[in-house]
């Protein structure tokens, strides 16, 4: 398997277009603002191929006139290495599914000014079958309909652990000033807006406590999804301006707000089930985290190793067969582990608690047909 399997893992002889839309903020607000990239069209021995650059060296597309998909990377020499997926059961059935399909394989294509040529294979077999195409056109993607007006965040918010917070923003700059329930200034958070996410640092007016935090605005609520925050505040909801605001903090108070301890690493040891199939065994020690993935048939598939920080894990994964690897950020919340950044083998997006499967194998089968 190959590095971009994060998007789905494996593909037939294909090419599929996936338009990735981002989100930007303008003056204290959130709004969708997609990036538009040109797409390429080819006629080939597997029907019409449409392919687009999705991000960096990543490409995705469709072939068989839109009935099948392809995902991969194209380097500076225009060599594409990727995977295909079909859903019509017209090719060799593999031992385990990729993105819900048992029909998939690897592909290597060399693109030129006139078209492309290369090889594809079934399942994990080396590519050995010919695939070629002639260029038809390169043209920009159509602009979408106007997006709805952004939601403004400026104003007053209430923390889930108490306190009132005043938000002001300008362009991508974000500032949130916190007050105690008694109206005393407590903390100041300053950060940068990127889409519906804010990254920045906070500091208390008294005592010198400080730290970093990542916030996410969604469904009318601001949530802390990374780092820590003064008084361990986890979320904020809209509120009205309090009546008893003070201009200066009282750092000589006999009982200043205590600095909360850092969150302890979350222990998730045991067996988990992926939303795209497979079983995963988690083991941790302190802030060290390891997750070993198995196929539904019990064969070792992938290994993820990372570092726990609160309820978030950052690390890298690699497949036991094929050399595929990548990075991923995971978040544990409400009994579920979710992928919130990067990519993951088989495009797994979430994991839920499970029991140990009965058919576990000790070694992967890298020679499986």
> Over 80: is that where the pLDDT of 234 sits?
yes
Give 144-164 pLDDT, tens digit per residue: 555 444 456 899 999 988 899
Q: Which domains does the chain have, with CATH numbers?
A: 3-23+32-140 (2.40.160), 151-238 (2.40.128), 270-353 (2.40.128)
Give 158-191 pLDDT, tens digit per residue: 998 889 999 998 888 899 999 998 899 999 999 9
In this prediction, residues 258-285 reach a mean pLDDT of 77
Residue 132 is predicted with a pLDDT of 94
In this prediction, residues 70-98 reach a mean pLDDT of 87
CA 162 to chain centre: 31
Q: Please name which of 247, 341, 327 lies closest in space to residue 4, comparing C-alpha atoms.
A: 327
Least confident of 100-114, 142-156, 270-284: 142-156
Hunting for tokens 């939601």 — which residue is that?
Answer: 151
> Over 90: is that where the pLDDT of 281 sits?
yes
pTM (2 decimals)? 0.34
Residue 362 is predicted with a pLDDT of 87
pLDDT, mean over the chain: 79
> Over 90: is that where the pLDDT of 100 sits?
no
At 104, list the tokens: 């998939």
CA 366 – CA 301 distance, rounded (Å):
9
In this prediction, residues 50-62 reach a mean pLDDT of 85
Alpha-carbon dihedral sign for residues 53, 55, 58, 62: negative
> Over 80: is that where the pLDDT of 303 sits?
yes
Residue 19 is predicted with a pLDDT of 25
Residue 66 is predicted with a pLDDT of 82
Higher local confidence (pLDDT), 25 or 294: 294
Higher local confidence (pLDDT), 281 or 89: 281
- The CA-atom distances, in angstroms, between 263 and each of 44, 77, 309, 314 are 55, 47, 8, 16
Residue % of the chain over a pLDDT of 90? 28
CA 308 – CA 366 distance, rounded (Å):
31
Higher local confidence (pLDDT), 5 or 226: 226
Residue 346 is predicted with a pLDDT of 62
In this prediction, residues 210-214 reach a mean pLDDT of 88
Residue 32 is predicted with a pLDDT of 36
At 232, list the tokens: 């361990």
Alpha-carbon dihedral sign for residues 193, 198, 199, 205: positive
Beta-strand runs (E) in 76-196: 79-86, 103-111, 115-120, 129-140, 151-152, 155-159, 164-170, 173-179, 185-194
> Over 60: is that where the pLDDT of 257 sits?
no
């Amino acid at each position: 398997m190959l590095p971009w399997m994060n998007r789905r893992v494996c593909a037939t002889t294909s090419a599929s277009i996936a338009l990735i839309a981002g989100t930007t903020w303008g003056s204290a607000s959130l709004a969708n603002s997609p990036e538009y990239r040109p797409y390429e069209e080819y006629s080939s021995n597997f029907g019409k191929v449409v392919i687009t650059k999705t991000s960096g060296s990543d490409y995705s597309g469709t072939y068989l006139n839109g009935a099948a998909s392809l995902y991969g990377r194209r380097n500076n020499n225009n060599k594409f290495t990727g995977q295909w997926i079909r859903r019509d059961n017209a090719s060799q059935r593999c031992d385990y599914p990729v993105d819900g399909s048992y029909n998939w394989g690897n592909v290597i294509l060399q693109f030129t000014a006139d078209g492309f040529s290369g090889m594809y294979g079934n399942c994990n077999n080396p590519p050995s079958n010919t695939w070629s195409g002639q260029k038809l056109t390169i043209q920009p993607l159509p602009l979408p309909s106007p997006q709805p007006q952004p939601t403004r965040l400026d104003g007053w918010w209430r923390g889930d652990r108490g306190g009132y917070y005043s938000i002001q923003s300008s362009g991508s700059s974000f500032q949130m000033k916190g007050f105690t329930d008694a109206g005393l200034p407590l903390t100041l958070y300053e950060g940068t807006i990127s889409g519906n996410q804010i990254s920045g640092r906070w500091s208390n007016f008294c005592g010198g406590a400080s730290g970093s935090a990542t916030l996410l605005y969604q469904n009318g609520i601001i949530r802390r999804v990374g780092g820590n925050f003064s008084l361990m505040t986890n979320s904020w909801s809209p509120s009205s301006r309090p009546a008893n605001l003070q201009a200066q903090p009282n750092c000589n108070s006999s009982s200043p707000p205590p600095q909360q301890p850092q969150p302890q690493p979350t222990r998730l040891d045991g067996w988990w089930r992926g939303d795209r199939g497979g079983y995963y065994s988690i083991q941790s020690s302190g802030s060290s985290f390891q997750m070993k993935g198995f196929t539904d048939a019990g064969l070792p598939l992938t290994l993820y190793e990372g570092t726990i920080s609160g309820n978030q894990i950052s690390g890298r994964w690699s497949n036991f067969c094929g050399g595929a690897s990548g990075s991923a950020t995971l978040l544990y919340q409400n009994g579920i582990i979710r992928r919130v950044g990067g990519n993951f083998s088989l495009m797994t997006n979430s994991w839920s608690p499970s029991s140990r499967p009965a058919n576990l194998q000790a070694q992967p089968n890298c020679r499986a047909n």
